[in-house]
């Protein structure tokens, strides 16, 4: 397949992806979420790695009054020390899709939510695998989210199988938020 065909397919995909909110009539429109995450690796195989940090960029498209389809890019780096020396960090980049459901009342803008996501991860430059990341959290006024997450890959080599549990703080940029009538 030629590069022009790839570009054409990507253009049609993004046109369909971003045209959905233009026709929606829900109280909250789509939003972009930018977040930072901090966690702890849980793998027994990589005991020397003690902490992980990264960021997530996400777009959420409304499906109804309190649920969204999410598309995100997640970058996380796992770091640590062994015998007083810093270890080479393990970088993971993943593209994910998911579903977000807000447990909120009609009058309330602060609420709890759940957000499971699945996708494909690149662990360093050598491995890639399926990954998933369930998260639960609390949103303050729909602008700032605090959540707990569990991120894991399902790679076959034990050094590429990464599991991280942690916390995430996000800021949401809403588009087309309007009052319900």
Tokens representing 7 are: 């570009």
pLDDT score for 134: 96
Position 86 in a domain = yes
Domains in the chain, number: 1
Q: Name the 3-class secondary structure at 114.
A: strand
What whole-number distance in Å separates Cα of residue 35 and Cα of residue 52? 14
Residue 181 has a pLDDT of 41
Instruction: Give me the pLDDT at residue 108, please.
Output: 75
Residue 19 belongs to a domain: no
* Residue 43 included in any domain: yes
Q: Is residue 13 part of a domain?
A: no
Closest CA to 147 of 73, 54, 42, 37: 37
Give the three-state DSSP class for 101.
Answer: strand
How would DSSP label each residue in 117-169?
A: EEEEEEETTTEEEEEE--EEEEEETTTEEEEEEEEEE--SSGGG--EEEEEEE
Query: Would you state the pLDDT for residue 156?
Result: 78
Q: Walk along the chain (181 residues) and give the pLDDT tens digit of each residue.
A: 555 455 555 555 554 455 444 444 344 679 999 999 999 988 766 666 788 999 999 999 999 888 999 999 999 988 876 666 656 678 899 999 999 999 988 777 789 999 999 999 998 888 889 999 999 999 998 899 999 999 999 877 776 788 899 999 999 998 875 554 4
Q: Report the distance separating Cα 23 and Cα 168, nearest Å.
A: 31
**Domain encompassing residue 128:** 27-174
In a domain, 18, yes or no: no
State residue 107's pLDDT score: 73
For residue 5, what are its two tokens?
């065909």
CATH code, domain with 95: 2.40.160.20
Report d(CA 124, CA 152) in Å as an integer: 14
Residue 179 belongs to a domain: no
Judge contact between 57 and 73, C-beta under 8 A: yes
pLDDT at 82: 66
pLDDT of res. 55: 95
10 is a domain residue: no
Question: Strand, helix or coil at 6?
Answer: helix
What tokens appear for 2 in the block? Answer: 């030629």
Indicate whether 143 belongs to any domain.
Answer: yes
The pLDDT value recorded for residue 25 is 39
């Amino acid at each position: 397949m030629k590069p022009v065909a790839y570009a054409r397919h990507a253009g049609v995909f993004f046109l369909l992806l971003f045209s959905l909110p233009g026709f929606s009539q829900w109280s909250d429109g789509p939003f972009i979420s930018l977040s930072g995450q901090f966690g702890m690796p849980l793998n027994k195989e990589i005991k020397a790695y003690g902490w992980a940090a990264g960021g997530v960029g996400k777009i959420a498209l409304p499906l109804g009054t309190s649920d969204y389809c999410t598309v995100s890019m997640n970058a996380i780096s796992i770091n640590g020390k062994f015998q007083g020396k810093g270890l080479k960090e393990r970088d993971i980049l993943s593209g994910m899709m998911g579903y977000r459901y807000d447990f909120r009342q009609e009058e309330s803008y602060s609420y709890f939510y759940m957000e499971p996501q699945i996708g494909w991860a690149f662990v360093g430059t050598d491995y890639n695998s399926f990954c998933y990341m369930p998260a639960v959290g609390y949103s303050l006024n729909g602008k700032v989210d605090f959540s707990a997450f569990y991120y894991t890959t399902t790679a076959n080599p034990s050094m590429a199988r990464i599991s991280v549990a942690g916390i995430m703080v996000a800021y949401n940029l809403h588009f087309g938020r309007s009052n319900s009538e």
